[in-house]
Structure 1
Amino acid sequence: MELDVYLYRGHLGQAVIPVPLALAEAFNLDGKAILTAQVAANELAGRLGAAITSELLHGHQRSYLQRFAAAICAAKLPSLNQECFAEALAIAMTQPKYPLHVGEFSSDTKVLSAASSVVEGTRSAFLASEGMTGTRNILEHQGGFYRQFTLHRNTPQPFLQLGEAWVTETLAFKRYSACAYAQGAIDCIRVLSHENTFEISEIKKIEIFTMITALVMEHLAIPHYKSLFTPVNVQFSVARSVAMALFYKDLRGYHFTPENFEKALPTIKNLSKQTDSRHDWKLTIQLLRGVDDGIIEGSSKHSAGMLEFYRTSPEFRRRFVTMQSLGFRDIPALLALD
């Protein structure tokens, strides 16, 4: 259910919230222990996610981060010694999942990418506590994780500036039960719905101007069976999320109960046909500059702990300004990135 918290380059909430809460209850631990485990998982798994910038997996597909984060939380609650902690992470990353695009953005199977990864990550810590060992160079080995799961020739060392820069500072949450790229559009719908009186039947056309990443998600969220709308492919679609938000004048998790979702379906189907999603270069550039501000200029000890490696806007311009698939009218916008 697209109502999670996330960090820069990592959806960790599915592991970082339930695992510490469950284990603290089981072992009668206090709030300080819960927060310590959560911060440790954010800092380590968040850095791993930030270091990997070239791969075929995106968003919740990067379930190896949830596996890694769950192992960290479980190793901290109760606290394992340094040797066992290392083994827990090695065990967790030995058999990471590789969710496929076709099962992640429309069908109900999306939930499995997080669910089983969190369980396996947690189990890794318990196995380590019982004496099981893993391959400690599982990340960087020539046949290890980086080689198999990324397109990097050389993956930068992710675990830098611990205790100095804080990935936890990039923590964000979604106000609405939809993909992050749909949040702004839904916010607009809430304002329009509360400041104006109109009937849905009066709507003839909807135009949404959005960033390029939202248009990519729109394409990925095409129903896996023709005309079969699911909570997953509605939440990943800006157009369908906007349609459902118009029906309820909001979009929260409880709107996706089977009964409520069924009530909204006719409106979703009708309005999404009348919706035109268009790319706005200004919004895309704002997105890129926002990433730059967050990981480069955010503070003297910038939040992602990756200052040495990333320069998003110059890299984007260098790679894409000469692509033949872009039109001449796009060149000024790209040149303006710096």
Structure 2
Amino acid sequence: MSEPSLLDQLASWASRLDVEDAPERVRAHLRSQLLSQLAAARAGYGHPLGAKISQAYGSPLQDDPERGAHSLAMATICLDFDDTAYAGHLSHSCVNVPLVYARPLGLDGRRLAAAILAANECAARITAAATLGPFRGQTAGHTHLAGAVAGRLRAEGALTDTWVNALGLAFTTPTWTLPRGFFTTDAKLYTAAVPVRIGLGACDGAKAGLGGPADVLEHPQGFLYRFAALPLPEEAVGGLGTLWYTETLSYKVHPGSAYLSAAIDCAAELHEEIRELGADDIAEIVVEGSLFTSGLDRLTRAESVGPHSSVAALNFSVPYNVATALLTGSLEPADLAPPDVARPKRWALAAKVRTVHDPALSRAALLATAPLGQALRRAGQRAAGWAGAAGREAVDALPPDWLAPADDFRWATKDLGARVTVRLNDGRELRAERRTALGAAGSTDGPGHEELARRKFLRCGGKPEVVELTGNLTELDASGVVRLVELALGDLGEGATSRRVRTARPAPARFDAGAADARSTPLREPEVMWDTAGLEAAYDGLFRAAASRAGLGSEAGGGDGGDVDRTLAHLALSDRLLADIARQVLAGAAAPLLDNSAAADPAAIDALVAAADRAVLVELVRRNAAELVGVLARTPDRCRVADVRVRLVNGAGEELFSGSVPWGEIVRMRAEEHLPGHAARINSLEEKAG
């Protein structure tokens, strides 16, 4: 019997996925993602470009849900105000398609959330499998083939075979985005809308009995081998049910490319210091960023970007966005339309913006989970070949090939940092810098994603009741979902070709015969699982301390054997040992042995410090900690009493303790004593250095 194809494995899991299968921290992202995407829709339809979209394609709530999804995808992408994940700009299909089908299918909040979750996970995984290739971000239109199919079919409760055929049909005819048009014209609007239509059409065909190739992703003549320079098929199915791509979401505070977000944050921070100055007072503005920022700047400077440029060109312009944020203290959708876009002072200041590549920021960017770090780790030694084709900047920034990919995303990061320096004619310099943008995955300063999404939606003219309804999403009945959708989208896109659906109590959803519906499954008393909150909080404190010692994009430590580096190396090694014990306890092993000699051995610590700079060590600790906590989160609470044989030695190899200790006590000491102690030591070293 042949091994199941990637689509067989993915569809078998996602077609049965219920929102309650995901941890609460993942469900919280679904609520923020929905609210933030509704804000992007309101901003898009409210822009002059949105009026053209609605005139051509109608409103998102018209009678034809396929055409409504097309219109909505164009509106949400047009200002680049959508959110990003590892990997892909998911929401144009993963949120939009379930939204427009929610009313005709009579979905309640739980089914709507399940459809978004299933779509996210399928679309992000397939996008990740092809991310080391020519298409990333919004240019990866194939993201929405998967998002549209999964979002609709999970909402309809379709059978696994229907999923496989629909995905096979859709991925046989993927879209190929051309740079000409995407970066400088309104043609960018179709990069999500067209694959959404293809995906929905494939659903119709599969439901009618048309068959598609189940092996279309991995076949030598299939999708991955045509759309990826370095295919990573493992990304499509690795860690199903434990590795949640949804929790890698980063949230946009400003409309525009994520490669510019941190620079815009820095410029907004400097606004108060320059607000009384004129363009003549400023000699130049230097934006330092990673290879993603500098590369985008090179690409857009090849075109002549000005007041009459398309929204796409403005979105990608480092000079215009930074100058606007410096002058106004923010960047809003209105800044991408007349009259604001034509203000001469902005363009006079934009002419003084210069972008510089910072290798340290590139290193930090490629160490982070998104946009490429997880893929590079999955590729391992193969990544060097891909980076060589991408250019010298990518080669120099590559993480070490021994750094393993994450198998838990609870501490996912997106470190696209920036530094903005305003040099004045009188010789003064004003500077702001950020390791990561506000709202980005892993950001530790500023409001959390729930508050950022709430502010964004209200800023875009959304009604407070929608915020409340979204906050209680999984508790809403079908009429509550109708109200949410109507309040959020009902006044948008009402062009001449729009036909609104009459508001009425929706008919019950029609499900494929034999489909598994989570609501009809008898509920079992759930087993109490291990509460990892205390351990996660201890790691959060440790990460904050380590980040404060590293500096922005710094390679401090650099293998010099300093105390901070040795502490981090010891933690990374010991977490690896603890994660192995956690897996043995979960598997029911009798009295596994925890011997710390490998983590206490000075030679092992020195070898790791010599092989890794400070940034790599911090990332290794984060990765190994996530693995440990991820296993514990899947462990029944009753396993706390499991005996573990413990042997502790000091750095000289002298035995300090030998005996049996309950596993729960070992984890408690880690959370309450060991990690806080190491964080305090790192902080004390910082104070001495200061």
Common fold by TM > 0.5: yes
1:133 Cα deviation from its structure 2 partner: 1.9
User: Which of 290, 295, 305 is 1:216 aligned to?
Assistant: 295
Please give the secondary structure, in 2, of the residue aligned with 1:144: coil
1:259 corresponds to 2:328: no
Kindly provide the amino acid, as one letter, of the partner of residue 283 in structure 1. L
Q: Which amino acid aligns with 1:230?
A: S
8 A Cα contact 2:289 2:358, kept in partner? yes
Is residue 205 from structure 1 mapped to residue 258 from structure 2 by the alignment? Answer: no
- 1:93-115 deviations in whole A, cap 9, x for unaligned? 11110011122212211111112
Q: 1:103 to 1:261 in 2, by over 3 A?
A: farther
| Alignment of 1:240 onto 2:320 | yes
Paired position in structure 2 for 1:142: 220
Residues 223-302 of structure 1: pairs in structure 2 closer than 5 A: 224=303, 229-256=309-336, 258-264=337-343, 266-291=344-369
Displacement of 1:294 in angstroms is 9.8
DSSP 3-state at the match of 1:77: helix
**How far apart are 1:155 and its partner, in Å?**
4.1
Q: Distance in 1 between matches of 2:386 and 2:313?
A: 33
Which of the pair has more CA radius of gyration? 2
What's the secondary structure of 1:208's corresponding residue? Answer: strand
Equivalent residues in 2 for 1:81-100, closer than 5 Å: 81-100=159-178
Do 1:49 and 1:65's aligned partners in 2 also have CA atoms closer than 8 Å? yes
Cross-structure match for 1:184: 262
**In 1, are the aligned partners of 2:365 and 2:373 still within 8 Å (CA)?**
no
Q: Distance in 1 between matches of 2:224 and 2:327?
A: 45
Shift of 1:307: 10
Cα distance in 2 for residues equivalent to 1:85 and 1:3: 30
Give the drift of 1:180. Answer: 0.8
Q: 1:267 to 1:107 in 2, by over 3 A?
A: farther
Whether 2:233 is the aligned partner of 1:152: answer no
Is the contact between residue 8 and residue 171 of structure 1 (CA under 8 Å) also seen in structure 2? yes
* One-letter amino acid matched to 1:222: R
Matched, 1:15 2:93: yes
Look up the equivalent residue of 1:86 and give its one-letter code: V
Q: Does 1:116 align with 2:116?
A: no
Shift of 1:64: 0.4
User: How has the CA–CA distance of structure 1 residues 273 and 17 changed in structure 2, closer, same or farther, with 3 Å as cutoff?
Assistant: same
> Which stretch of the first structure deviates more once superposed, 59-68 or 151-160?
151-160
Partner Cα separation in structure 2 for residue 149 and residue 293 of structure 1: 17
CA offset digits 1:132-155 (Å, max 9, x no partner) = 222222112222112222223774
1:299 counterpart residue number: none
Q: Distance in 1 between matches of 2:112 and 2:120?
A: 12
Over 6 Å off, 4+ runs: 292-296, 323-326, 332-335
Change (3 A) 1:8 1:18: same
- The equivalent of 1:309 in structure 2 is 378
Count of matched residue pairs: 321
Give per-residue Cα distances to partners, 1:17-66, cap 9 Å, x unaligned.
21111100221211111111111111122111222243122221110011
- CA separation of 1:279/1:307 partners in 2, compared to 1, >3 Å: closer, same or farther? closer
Q: Name 2:129's counterpart in structure 1.
A: 51
Does the CA contact (< 8 Å) of 2:216 and 2:223 recur in 1?
A: yes
Q: In structure 1, how many angstroms separate the alpha carbons of the residues matched to 2:219 and 2:122?
A: 19
Shift of 1:186: 1.2
Which range moves more in the overlay, 91-100 or 126-135? Answer: 126-135
Q: Is the 8 A contact 2:130 2:232 kept in 1?
A: no
Cα distance, 1:75 vs structure 2: 0.9
Offset at residue 199 of structure 1 (A): 3.7
CA gap 1:24/1:319 in 2 versus in 1, 3 angstroms: closer
What percent of counterpart residues are identical?
25
Provide the rounded CA distance (Å) in 2 between the counterparts of 1:283 and 1:209: 8
**Shift of residue 224 of structure 1?**
4.5
**SS of match in other structure, 1:181:** coil
User: By how many angstroms is 1:156 displaced?
Assistant: 3.6
Distance 1:153 1:108, change over 3 A: closer
In structure 1, stretches of 5+ residues that fail to align are: 297-305
Alignment partners' CA distance in 1, 2:386 and 2:191:
34
Q: Which residue of structure 1 aligns with residue 145 of structure 2?
A: 67
Letter of the 1:220 partner, please give it: L
User: What letter corresponds to residue 129 of structure 1 in structure 2?
Assistant: K
Cα deviation, residue 237, structure 1: 2.2
| 1:3 maps to which of 67, 70, 81 | 81
1:105 matches 2:177? no
Q: Distance in 1 between matches of 2:392 and 2:100?
A: 52
How far the C-alpha of 1:311 sits from its partner, in A, is: 4.6
Alignment of 1:193 onto 2:271: yes
Mapped to 2, the partners of 1:309 and 1:278 lie a distance apart of 29
Relative to structure 1, the CA distance from residue 43 to residue 254 in structure 2 (aligned partners, 3 Å threshold; closer, same or farther) is same
Aligned Cα root-mean-square deviation (Å): 3.3
Asked whether the equivalents of residues 223 and 233 of structure 1 are also in contact (C-alpha less than 8 Å), the reply is: no
Corresponding position of 1:301: none
What letter is aligned with 1:37?
Answer: A
Q: Distance in 1 between matches of 2:383 and 2:84?
A: 24
C-alpha distance in structure 2 between counterparts of 1:122 and 1:267, whole Å: 46
Match of 2:247 in 1: 169
CA distance in 1 between counterparts of 2:378 and 2:230 reads: 13
CA distance in 2, matches of 1:136, 1:115: 24
Return the alpha-carbon distance in structure 2 between the equivalents of residues 124 and 103 of structure 1: 27
Contact 2:181–2:188 under 8 Å retained in 1: yes
Distance change (3 Å), C-alpha of 1:22 and 1:142? same
Measure the CA separation in 1 of the matches of 2:210 and 2:385: 48
Which amino acid counterpart does residue 129 of structure 2 have in structure 1? A
Of 208-217 and 195-204, the range deviating more from structure 2: 195-204
Return the structure number with greater relative CO, CA threshold 8 A, min gap 6. 1
State how far apart, in whole Å, the 2-side matches of 1:72 and 1:222 are: 38
**What amino acid maps onto 1:250 in structure 2?**
S
Unaligned runs of at least 5 residues, structure 2:
1-78, 397-553, 559-611, 617-690
SS where residue 6 of structure 1 aligns? coil
Matched residue SS, 2:314: helix
